[in-house]
Amino acid sequence: MSEKMSGNEYIARWIKANGGTHLFYVPVLFPDVMKHMTALGLTPCNVHSEKSAAYMADGYARIARKPGYCGAQAIGGSNLAAGLREPLMAFSPVIAFSGGTSPELRYKARYQDIDDIPTFASLTKWTGVVERVDRLPDMLDQAYRRAMTGRPGPVHLQIPTFWGGMAVQEFDAVNPDDSSSQRVELSRSMPSPEALNAAVERIREAKRPIIVVGAGVVQSGAKHVLQGFVLTTGIPFVAGTGAKAVAVDDSPLFAGVVGDYSQECANIAVAEADLIIFVGSNTGSMVTRNWTVPAANARVIQIDVDATHVGRNYPDTVPLIGDAGLSLRVLRDALGEITVDGGWQGRIKELRAEYERHQAPIEASDAIPMRPERLCKEVSDALPEDGILVVDTGHAGGWLARHLRFRHEEQEVIRAAGSLGWSFPASLGAKAAAPDRSVVCFTGDGGILYHMTELETALRYNLPTVTVINNNSSLNQERFIWGEAPEHAHHWQFCDVDYAAIAKGFGAWGARIDDPADLADAIRAAIDSGRPAVIDARTDDRIVVPASWGPGAGGAYGDAGAN
């Protein structure tokens, strides 16, 4: 049964009907939607930049595994689109709204008017324009399905007029609560029997098979399916950084994090394997160390929901096109009983043990300025059993791979796919999606300087995350570009900034830590404070993430910087 309602009311009801709880936005974007959302018990979250809004929606989507919502008025559209590059690279389902030119004003040089559609089209899975208010129901449903089906990703809807004012109009609408159209069960595909048979044959022929786990396993909710597959088959596995928490770090057959941000033990294991089983991975440059681990001629099985990603980088591939979880289940059933050579499993354990022997003294270092490896150990030890870790790119991603450990099954990690500064606003979105869980952001001073203004947003909307800043007063990963020449130092060295004092100035909790012995108490106190918190950890700018191991790279363990 239909009823008269405004487009604004319909949007708010539709978001609620689809399980959304927050919309992150920069005003003025359809203010009446925000009023209706508030009346429905939802949270419109007014933030300080459009890019932050997109990053918050992204963090929300990755933890909730359903769409995150963001928006901006027309003049902010380009900034909002720029923020969608991250969820596009990370395959995260974000639904973005923006204002736009109405038909009667198009091509008249209206103030602040520009055609944003080409920009959004290049940074989303799909973008659409709602030309009439009565098209809202089907356009919103299309946006949801496109964001969630196949490989997830961001989508965009433009609502005409500068601030989406077309939505004030009324139309005859079926209440979204009563409509089944937008809640159609999203299909999960399975690989063909012929492909399964070919994969089974390859696995049975292999002497040293290994699984490379990508973030698609996490997006599929297939973490426990993957663990069951490893347990029943005995095939060892490694993970990309975005999938590191698919197992606790001391899992017997886990060889570590592979790729460019990586652990030597994992790269060596993949290089020695005679069959690579990629699951939920697009075989990009980071997880394969620029397609050298494994080598380009490797024998491969690739499980992926998107056929366009399969076999493009490794020609000798058996394709299993389907959802990661369902595909692993049917592959396990098709395999039946198999036995993996005990010598290969022993080799995996040996590589892992050797890595840990090298890292233990570094992680226990009492040096001042502190080593970032020790900082990572303390963060790992203090992360609650159900904690969520949100990690930036750059050196933060490298330290995640090597020294941030997961010790409990319910812990999760999300990390930037490439956008420095993403982690702090994304952690606020993660907290909005999981208000009863501790969320810890791990970033550097280069990362926090992008969006630290959102501390005010965290306070206003009661999003008490803990942000740990690896503060070496520099972008020291760029040190090699400039060398030690004093005349170039200001290009990579920063001022000595007290981020804890800045946090306190906002009204948040803050602590500045120089001695690594004080870290554990500070992290626990920050979590217990119940307020947005910042820990400014002062680290040695001479310590850089070691270069990744690859065939022909020399010794198994690189120089980790100053001792």
Question: Cα dihedral sign for 99, 152, 390, 543?
Answer: negative
251: its two tokens: 């899992």
Question: Alpha carbon of 532 to those of 16, 299, 424, 448, 459: distances in Å?
Answer: 27, 48, 11, 14, 6
Per-residue pLDDT at 126: 98
Residues 6+ apart with CB under 8 A from 220: 188, 280, 305, 323, 324, 325
pLDDT at res. 563: 31
For 483, what's the count of Cα atoms within 13 Å in the CB-facing half-sphere? 3
Name the residue with tokens 């956008």: 419
Q: How far apart are CA 290 and CA 184, in angstroms?
A: 39
- Cis ω before 294 (30° cut-off from 0): yes
Which numeric CATH code is attached to 2-183?
3.40.50.970
Domain 2-183 identical in fold to domain 193-350: yes
What was the pLDDT predicted at 111?
Answer: 74
The pair phi, psi for residue 335, each rounded to 5°, is -70, -35
Name the residue type at position 375.
Answer: L
* Fold for the domain defined by 193-350: Rossmann fold (3.40.50)
pLDDT of residue 555: 52
Name the token pair of 333.
């059933």
Q: In whole angstroms, what is the distance from residue 402 CA to residue 557 CA?
A: 12
Which tokens belong to 362? 């570094």
Regarding the domain delimited by 364-538, which CATH topology (the fold level of the hierarchy) does it fall under? Rossmann fold (3.40.50)
Q: What is the Cα–Cα distance from 452 to 126, expressed in whole angstroms?
A: 31
* Element spanning 45, H or E: strand 43-46
Q: Domains of the chain: which residue ranges?
A: 2-183, 193-350, 364-538
Please give the structure tokens belonging to residue 51. 């890019």
- Residues whose CB falls within 8 Å of the CB of residue 141, separated by 6 or more in sequence, listed in order: 181, 182
58-83 pLDDT, tens digit each:
999 999 999 999 999 999 999 999 99
Contact assessment for residue 219 and residue 150, using Cβ atoms and an 8 Å cutoff: no
- Helical ranges in 129-285 per DSSP H: 136-148, 193-205, 215-219, 223-233, 264-272
In this prediction, residue 557 carries a pLDDT of 62
Q: Rounded distance, CA 11 to CA 168, Å?
A: 11
Give the pLDDT of residue 186.
Answer: 63
Low-confidence ranges of the chain (pLDDT < 70): 1, 179-187, 554-563
pLDDT at residue 559 in the model: 45
